[in-house]
Each structure stands twice: as structure tokens, then as C-alpha cells.
A and B are shown apart, each in its own frame.
Chain A
């Protein structure tokens, strides 16, 4: 990240707002981990973990992946 400039002349008005279609993706990691039908079972087991445990831990990757993607796609390029 570039060093912050002293009192840049840009004001909030000149900035792009937060609206982006990419933001809708954020609903996926909010909704999917809250559906028990996906994970509430024992089989298949992975490394001895029942599905209930490994799949819910795997949702962490889903969350990280989605937020990273949205951050990268909505980042303002060229500015600062």
C-alpha cells in the first residue's frame, strides 16, 4: 500500500461509492453455513472427521474465498 499523502484534496464526494454487483456474492457465505441439511450427517468421514465437522470447517474457506474475491473486485484501482 502506498504511503498516505498529507491531506489529499479528494473529498468523499469524488469517491466511488460502495455499490457493486460483486457485493451480492457476500450472501453465499452467510446463507450456506446456516443450512443444516448440508452438514448434519456422519458420512462420508475425512481423516476420521464426520461430515458435520469437516464440512463446517470447510465453510471457513468459503467465507475467506468470497470476502477476498469481493475485496479484490471492488478495490479502487489507480486511486492512491
Chain B
């Protein structure tokens, strides 16, 4: 019952309202001369320094869903769920130089989205459209999942109702507030809120990693309790260490997820909002602080085992909603007021990425669909307006997904999202280094990677839950005819096939002398920095000809 959780609810509500007020005030924070420009609304004026970028990108990549789902995974499967740690370690050295190139070329040409870049680099509206649609489709379920994070908290506080509408009312209200201040303040809102959100999360986790082991008899006994649980369970894949069959999956999943993360439109939005190349490079060294946080949060799953916490019941009879495991642990172990703070950290933690994701998706729609196909001569003010409205539509869509569909559907889509966003790797990431690939071959590679990825995901079932399709991303190699029980991450296989197809077809198309368009960028563009003059890529893009405001 919610009455038992009154203190938690009050603390949660007060912090939530405080942050919402900040979101509205953010429009005036570092206020631009003219907010009616996509660079201002959608990229915060491309002016964020080191600290703001750190909070913004950190709050963006390490989402509320991550903080709820990773410990839930560890709780259920053990070591395999820890892939999030190597995943978020290898990513930064990997993109250290790549993102600087993307930032430079975007700065020079006024690109707002990865599809803008592809459009100009490969002179192919179709390829750009594919990249844009892939980005939007991959982002939508991700936004919906942020709601799953908030719901896990609300459920634990007993804020539920009988009918579907009553159960979801708090979420609808929360998202309406979020939509309103994102509409008004653009990227400045999540940037400002990220400070509060991340400070709360750091406090909660520091307390949790010292206080909870003290209460539960030390780290040693926490791991021993987890070990005992997995030894007793009949499932073959769990345990506090990896076994011979899931190591390949662990490594390929970490590597593939790292490749995918900075292809997501919302990560790129966060990076393009930074002021110069130096800010990006310094952040690649500083962002792993969040990985440490994530690693410790992941271990909350084992603390829940040691504390004998049980998850709340799921929507179906006899099922469990393991996402409630962390809120339940806080509820059982912390005093009420501090549990309230922890819940607020998760709840607010959902708002930052949800806002950035909706802005990123809206920018993709505006630049690569609206401006490309609907209104070629759109002014910067019109672009900003369309983007604002699109961000509202995206959020309504996300709420509708959660209210009207089974949340499991969003989780499945998110799984697919990681695989499909990887298929933009050859065009976006490799495109930053080489124009060797033929635009036609890149399109064919995308199609091949998508088709294979979908088929593989469809084949993955989970006998334990009775789910036949889309039950995970660990593809059994035996399906390819290998005599082994090893599994591999679907995304890696799909993107490799994508690359092979793109490379072979490039050779064919080059031999056939098929027209390949004109590269709109020059090698020097990839090293431009703050203060370098910006170009006007075409007569229709008067938006970008304005000299950069000197911050």
C-alpha cells in the first residue's frame, strides 16, 4: 500500500518538482540571442564546456533503465550481466579520435545529425534517409524504456491502480511535464537537470556501496550468497563467473554494444553540443567515472540476493518483475527518507536521457525527412519549430507504447535497436575515415545486415520463460551448423556481413564505373576546431552561413 511509503513519496515528489522547475528556467541559462534556431534548441548553441558535457553525456549514456536493468540482470544471471563494465571501458578509447572527426566536420558544415553527415559525404539522400530512420526506430523504444525505469520505482512505492489508466497516470503526468520543458528549453533543460540527477546518483551509490555491505556482513559474504544461489539454481548459464559457453557472448556483446553506443543519435547530440575538440578528448578520459558507478550499481543485484530481497510480481500470473529488485532493496535496507532520495535519483535519471533522446529523434526528423523531402527551403526558425513539435510527438509515442502495449514489447524493440543501429557503422563511423565505400554498396550492406540481424534475433528463444522469438541477443552458433554450445552477439555477426557485402559490392560497382556522387567534405574539414570558419554547404542552407557566435 502507498500509505506505508508516504515519506518516500513525499521526498520523491519534492525533488521531482524541484527539477521540473529547473527545466523551465533552463531556457534562460546561457541564453542565446535567438532561440529560434535548431543549433540553439537542439544543440544548446554548440557551446558546452568540459563539465557540462561530462554531466550531459554521462547522464545521457548511463540511463535510468541501465541503472535498473543491469542489477536486475546480475540478480538473475550473475557474471554475464557484468558485460556492462567492459562495454563502457572499451568504448572511450575506441571513439576518442572518431568523435573528434565527427565534431569537426559537423562544426564546419553545420551538421546536426549523423544522417546530415552521410548525406553530404556520400551525396546520397537515400542512404541518409536510411540512417535517419534507423536512428529514429532505434531511439523510440529506448525512450519508452526510461518509463519502465520510473515505473519500477512507482510500483515499489505502491503507487499503482486497478485500471490501466490509473496505473499509468503518474507516468503520464511526469512525461507531460518533461515534454513541456523540453519544448521550451531544448537541450539546455537536460544539461541543467543532469547536474542534480548525477549528484543524487553518486550520493546514493556511495552510501549504498559502503553502508549495505556493512549491514550484509561484508563483500565476501555478499558474493558467497550469490554463488550459493547460482549453484542451487538449475539454469546452466548463471554463476558468479563465466563458463566456457558464454565467454564469447560476453566479449562480443561488450564490444558490439560499445560500437553501437556512439552511433545512437542521442549520444551524437550530446557530443556535437560540446564547444571544441579538447572538450571531447578530455571527456573521453573523464566519462569512465560513470563506468565505475555502473559497476558498483550492477553489484546491487548481488546485494539483493544476500539481503534476500524478492522482486514484485509481474503483469502475468506467476512472473516476476526483476526490474523492481533495486528499488525493493533500497526500500528494505535504507531509512524511508533516503530511499525516497534514491527513488528520485532513478526517476530524475530517466528524464535526462528521455529528453535528449526525444531531441535527437526530433532533429533527425526535421533535418533528414522534413527539410529533405517536405520543405527544402525551411528557415532555421521553422526547423526549430518542427523539431520542437516532433519532440512532443516522440514522447507521446513513447508513453503510448508503455500504456497500451506490454512493456516487454519495448524491451524487445530495444534489443533490436542495438542491432539495427550497428548497421549504420560503415556509413557513419567508417565514413568519417574513408570514402572508399560506394554509396550503393553501403545501402546494400545495410539491407543485408538488417535482414540477417532480424532473422537471427527471431531465432533466439528462451526455454525458461517459454518465449520462442526475440528472447535475447545471444545467438547459438549451432544454428550455423557449428558443433558447439557457444553463443555469440547477433549485432557483431550482422555488422560483419554488412561490411563484407558493402566491400564486395564496392569493388563490383567501381569496376562497372557506376556514378558515385561528389564528396561534399574536404580532408581538412575533419580537423577543424573552435574558431575555424564555418562553411555554407549549399544555397538552401542559409542557416549555417551565419558566423559562429563567439562564446
Interface contact A63-B92, CB-CB below 8 Å: yes
Interface contact B285-A30, CB-CB below 8 Å: no
Which partner residue on chain B sits nearest A63 by CB separation? B89
Q: Is A4 an interface residue (CB 8 A)?
A: yes
Which partner residue on chain A sits nearest B223 by CB separation? A50
Interface contact A4-B530, CB-CB below 8 Å: yes
Interface contact A57-B524, CB-CB below 8 Å: no
> A70 — which chain B residues lie within 8 A by C-beta?
96
Shortest Cβ distance from residue B44 to the other chain A in the assembled complex, whole angstroms: 17
Q: Is B86 an interface residue (CB 8 A)?
A: yes
Q: Which of B148-156, B291-299, B454-462, B464-472 contacts A (4 or more CB under 8 A)?
A: B291-299
Interface contact B524-A12, CB-CB below 8 Å: yes
* Contact residues, A1-48 vs B (CB, 8 A): 1, 4-8, 10-13, 15, 17-18, 23, 26-30, 33-36, 40-42, 45, 47-48
Q: How far is the CA of A40 from the CA of B292 in the complex (A)?
A: 19
Q: Is B8 an interface residue (CB 8 A)?
A: no
Interface contact A71-B291, CB-CB below 8 Å: no
* Contact residues, B52-96 vs A (CB, 8 A): 79, 82, 85-86, 89-90, 92-94, 96
> B292 — which chain A residues lie within 8 A by C-beta?
57, 60
> A56 — which chain B residues lie within 8 A by C-beta?
82, 85-86, 89, 295
Interface contact A7-B241, CB-CB below 8 Å: no
Which partner residue on chain A sits nearest B551 by CB separation? A4
Q: Are A42 and B240 also in contact (CB < 8 A) when A33-B90, A59-B89 are? A: yes
Q: How far is the CA of A56 from the CA of B79 in the complex (A)?
A: 11
Interface contact B90-A34, CB-CB below 8 Å: yes
Q: Are A23 and B527 also in contact (CB < 8 A) when A34-B254, A42-B240, A52-B79 are? A: no
> B97 — which chain A residues lie within 8 A by C-beta?
18, 23, 26
Shortest Cβ distance from residue B546 to the other chain A in the assembled complex, whole angstroms: 13
Shortest Cβ distance from residue B74 to the other chain A in the assembled complex, whole angstroms: 10
Encode B220-236 as 1/0 by CB contact (under 8 A) with A: 11110000000000000
Shortest Cβ distance from residue B500 to the other chain A in the assembled complex, whole angstroms: 22
Interface contact B100-A11, CB-CB below 8 Å: no
Encode A42-76 as 1/0 by CB contact (under 8 A) with B: 10010111101100110110111011101100010
Encode B269-298 as 1/0 by CB contact (under 8 A) with A: 000000000100110111010011001000
Q: Is B335 an interface residue (CB 8 A)?
A: no
Number of interface residues of A (CB under 8 A): 46
Which partner residue on chain A sits nearest B291 by CB separation? A60
Q: How far is the CA of A1 from the CA of B279 in the complex (A)?
A: 10
Q: Quick one: which of B86, B529, B550 contacts A59, CB cutoff 8 A?
A: B86
Q: Are A4 and B531 also in contact (CB < 8 A) when A29-B90, A67-B93, A71-B282 are? A: yes
Interface contact A48-B86, CB-CB below 8 Å: no
> A36 — which chain B residues lie within 8 A by C-beta?
242, 247, 250-251
Q: How far is the CA of A15 from the CA of B530 in the complex (A)?
A: 12
Q: Quick one: which of A12, A18, A28 contacts B100, CB cutoff 8 A?
A: A18
Q: Is B437 an interface residue (CB 8 A)?
A: no
Q: How far is the CA of A34 from the CA of B86 in the complex (A)?
A: 7
Q: Is B158 an interface residue (CB 8 A)?
A: no
Q: Are A49 and B219 also in contact (CB < 8 A) when A10-B532, A67-B93 are? A: yes
Which partner residue on chain A sits nearest B290 by CB separation? A60
> A63 — which chain B residues lie within 8 A by C-beta?
89-90, 92-93, 288, 291
Q: Quick one: which of A4, A8, A15, A60 contacts B288, CB cutoff 8 A?
A: A60
Interface contact A67-B242, CB-CB below 8 Å: no
Q: Is B218 an interface residue (CB 8 A)?
A: yes
Q: Is B429 an interface residue (CB 8 A)?
A: no
> A53 — which chain B residues lie within 8 A by C-beta?
82, 223, 295, 299
Q: How far is the CA of A7 from the CA of B291 in the complex (A)?
A: 38
Chain B residues proximal to chain A, CB less than 8 Å: 79, 82, 85-86, 89-90, 92-94, 96-97, 100-101, 104, 108, 213, 218-223, 240-242, 247, 250-251, 254-255, 278, 281-282, 284-286, 288, 291-292, 295, 299, 524-525, 527-533, 547, 550-551
Complex A-B, nearest 9 residue pairs according to Cβ-Cβ distance, in ascending order? A48-B219, A48-B220, A12-B524, A26-B93, A33-B86, A67-B285, A12-B528, A68-B285, A36-B247
